Amino acid sequence: MKQFFRLLLVLMAGAASLHADDGYRLWLRYEPLATQAQRDYLREQIACIVAPGSSPTVEKAVAELQRGLGGLSGQPVDLRAAVPELGSFLLLATADDEALDDLELADDLDELGPEGYRIQSVERDGQTGIVIAANRDIGLLYGSFALLREVQTAHSLSHLDLASKPHIQRRLLNHWDNLTRTVERGTAGQSLWEWFQLPDYRTPRYEDYARACASVGINGVSLTNVNADALVLTPQYLEKVAALADVFRPYGIRVYLTARFSAPMELAGLDTADPLDDDVRDWWQDKVSEIYARIPDFGGFLVKANSEGQPGPQDYGRNHAEGANMLADALAPHDGIVIWRAFVYAAEEQEDRVKQAYNEFQPLDGQFRDNVAIQIKNGPLDFMPREPVHPLFGAMPETNLALELQLTQEYLGTSVQLAYLAPLYEEVLDTDTFAEGPGSTVAKVIDGSLTDRKLSVISGVANIGTDRNWTGHPLAQSNWYAYGRLAWNPELSSDQIAQEWTRMSFDRNPAVEDTLVPMLMASRETVVDYSMPLGLHHIMAWDHHYGPGPWVDQGRPDWTATYYHRADREGLGFDRTSQGSNALEQYAPELRQRWERIETTPLNLLLWFHHVPWDYRLRTGNILWDELAYRYQRGVDAVREWEQAWADLQGQIDAQRYAHVAALLKRQEKDAVQWRDAVLLYFQQFSQRPLPAGVEAPAHDLEYYQNLQEHYVPGTPSHQ
């Protein structure tokens, strides 16, 4: 069977388009299939498109199909008013369209919900056809992208029978974009939103962004930085926001805004933003009504409150529930929601930073309104290359819990380094919290099924900017793609998604697939190896977060590296067991038991939970110090292997993307070497042990690495 698909893939390999390619088209390239026979086959399967509906969304679906099928088959595809007497057809129809009447669909459509679709091969009066059926027009658009994906990934079009609906209702990108167009932690150019030009000029890029999002099922976009600017809530800016919402609407995408908690004071001169104050409540109610008058499908507010200097309800002695509920009450009549972030911690707090969010939020379980979701980062610290799952997942059964993932690679090498993040997302989604017994995965917590919650939300912090290829690193487009696919269906595998994305982005070239998919799949673990292996965390450089900084020990303690790695003459790592900070107490007994002892803790979380002696012999047979050194070396070796593998693809990939990635891999090797040498030299001061055989000696001394300075790293707030 595998052989058969392989053969099909080879046969359907795209006509190698080796001219320069700037990556703008993302995975929606639609280059012609490789041979005339394949193009003819596609034409035979779909000779024309029939779409009885005429909404803006249906128009977008038809336009995409014409663009896609036309491109892939090399010939324009007609749009017809009715199913033709002769020739195969592609019919797009919602449940109430008469065109479905004499066709037998496998099941009725009720199961598909508002956004799902069914794609099925059918026969009518001896004619063969394909039907995309849905309850709503947006399902037809999602189904159209799914059908195109089938062709782009070289799947057969005969006997089609696919049905799909999203597991999570609200699937958002969170842009940390400032109104100045800088992007916090964004490393792919400026913000896409041209605020000064809006609402009058709308760059075509907005629509291409919306197409890409819809193609993977993303249905919400929070436009502005969570470190919020109240200006976006003024009439002048709401008019601009409305213009963007108008572009996104046909693609099923709602806009959300970040609400600065002190906005009533800043914009209306109120002397308080106390959520229980009547004037404050009235102000928000009026503001929300004003927003809905302009944007009837406005999604709601995303709020960062009482965190890293942002204002919030605690400034008035109120708690997070009181703050969130005040906004929720204003939004509820309009079907809007509040996404309230749980990323809170305080410099003055003596408690282990990773325990603080749980301590604040868990006691509030059951106190939030039904239209509030608490948005929790995947781990309890801050998007590290690896963290254990956040203990709040599973600990608030009476509350809607949303998952926040990061696409932008703040701690994984920005858009300079290759890190395909779907394996990280998958690891988080599949983690068992044991909250309601075995099988209580994070995926089930956030899709609401575990404790029957009615609102489900997932967010990804965008890695998108004005760079021509959108994401800076040409291969980082895969993270946008993968996030959307997993948000739609958290049960997909990262491997399958990598394969899909590679086929779509490199025109079904099997040589590229054979090389690139394993590279993508290994990349996140490789970054872990050469930067923060064995559960190390937060040992990056100060402020801009690029490169190593295990020596950082000045400034706010919980922003230093020494707070986290705790290296001393005895060993390395943060003791979070009952003997230490006892962060373990926040997890279910099954996880606690697993992580309480060094012997049973997975090596990839070892130093997160334990302070381990340098000469402690691990189950690999190596003592800690040697294992640490081997992992750093392994990371460097992997990057070198990719460079070689990528070089073998020269001539198989267009020159522009080939050269860009080749240069970035070279830089990644340099960076990996720097991480290895700097960190090992630094920890060697404590371990007092030689590097084991097979680990390369550093080219410089520790002082050299400590003196290296990166200036103006893109996305760094203090440089913006």
Q: Enumerate binding residues for ligand GCV (CB under 6 A).
A: 176, 184-185, 226-227, 304, 308, 343, 382, 717
- Antiparallel, parallel or unpaired: β 400-406 and 372-377: parallel
- Pick the closer one to ligand GCV by CB: 121 or 227: 227
CB of 379 to ligand GCV, least distance (A): 12
Burial 586-616 (b: 16+ CB within 10 A, else e): bbbeebbebbbebeebebbbbbbbbbbbbeb
CB of 491 to ligand GCV, least distance (A): 27
Give the integer Cα–Cα distance in Å for 379 and 387. 5
CB of 377 to ligand GCV, least distance (A): 7
- Pick the closer one to ligand GCV by CB: 510 or 547: 547
Cβ within 8 Å of residue 230, ≥6 positions away: 260, 262, 263, 266, 267
- Pick the closer one to ligand GCV by CB: 227 or 652: 227
Instruction: Provide DSSP, 533-563.
Output: GGG--S-BPTTT--SB-TT--SSSGGGSSHH
CB of 387 to ligand GCV, least distance (A): 13
Decide: 173 and 222 in contact? Cβ < 8 Å: yes
CB of 184 to ligand GCV, least distance (A): 5
Give the integer Cα–Cα distance in Å for 522 and 639. 10
Give the integer Cα–Cα distance in Å for 540 and 532. 9
- Pick the closer one to ligand GCV by CB: 108 or 351: 351
Decide: 642 and 664 in contact? Cβ < 8 Å: no
CB of 51 to ligand GCV, least distance (A): 42
CB of 679 to ligand GCV, least distance (A): 20
Segment (H or E) for 659: helix 655-687
Question: How long, in residues, is the chain?
Answer: 720
- Pick the closer one to ligand GCV by CB: 382 or 507: 382
Catalytic residue among 31, 382, 387, 558: 382
Give the dihedral sign, CA 601/605/607/609: negative
CB of 225 to ligand GCV, least distance (A): 6
CB of 543 to ligand GCV, least distance (A): 9
Take residue 224 and report the two structure tokens written for it: 């502005």
- Pick the closer one to ligand GCV by CB: 258 or 502: 258
- Pick the closer one to ligand GCV by CB: 152 or 531: 531
**Other beta carbons less than 10 A from residue 253's beta carbon:** 24
Give the integer Cα–Cα distance in Å for 365 and 394. 11
Segment (H or E) for 69: helix 56-73
Give the integer Cα–Cα distance in Å for 397 and 112. 26
The amino acid occupying position 258 is T
Nearest one of 621, 413, 614 to 529, comparing CA atoms: 413
Cβ within 8 Å of residue 599, ≥6 positions away: 619
**Has 382 been annotated as catalytic?**
yes
- Pick the closer one to ligand GCV by CB: 120 or 406: 406
Give the integer Cα–Cα distance in Å for 104 and 96. 14
- What is the arrangement of strands in the sheet containing 48-50, beginning at the earlier edge strand? 78-80, 48-50, 89-94, 127-134, 117-124, 161-164
- Pick the closer one to ligand GCV by CB: 378 or 479: 378
Segment (H or E) for 661: helix 655-687
Give the integer Cα–Cα distance in Å for 407 and 174. 10
Burial 279-289 (b: 16+ CB within 10 A, else e): ebbebbbebbe
Take residue 233 and report the two structure tokens written for it: 């809530």
Instruction: Provide DSSP, 423-482.
Output: HHHHHHHH-B--BTBTT-BHHHHHTSTTTT-S--EEEEE----SSTTSSSSGGGHHHHHH
**Has 643 been annotated as catalytic?**
no
Catalytic residue among 97, 194, 207, 308: 308
- Pick the closer one to ligand GCV by CB: 222 or 577: 222
- Pick the closer one to ligand GCV by CB: 352 or 677: 352
CB of 357 to ligand GCV, least distance (A): 12
Give the integer Cα–Cα distance in Å for 463 and 481. 11
Catalytic residue among 184, 410, 627, 671: 410
Instruction: Provide DSSP, 15-29.
Output: ----S---STTTT--
**Has 308 been annotated as catalytic?**
yes
CB of 15 to ligand GCV, least distance (A): 44
Positions marked active-site? 308, 382, 410
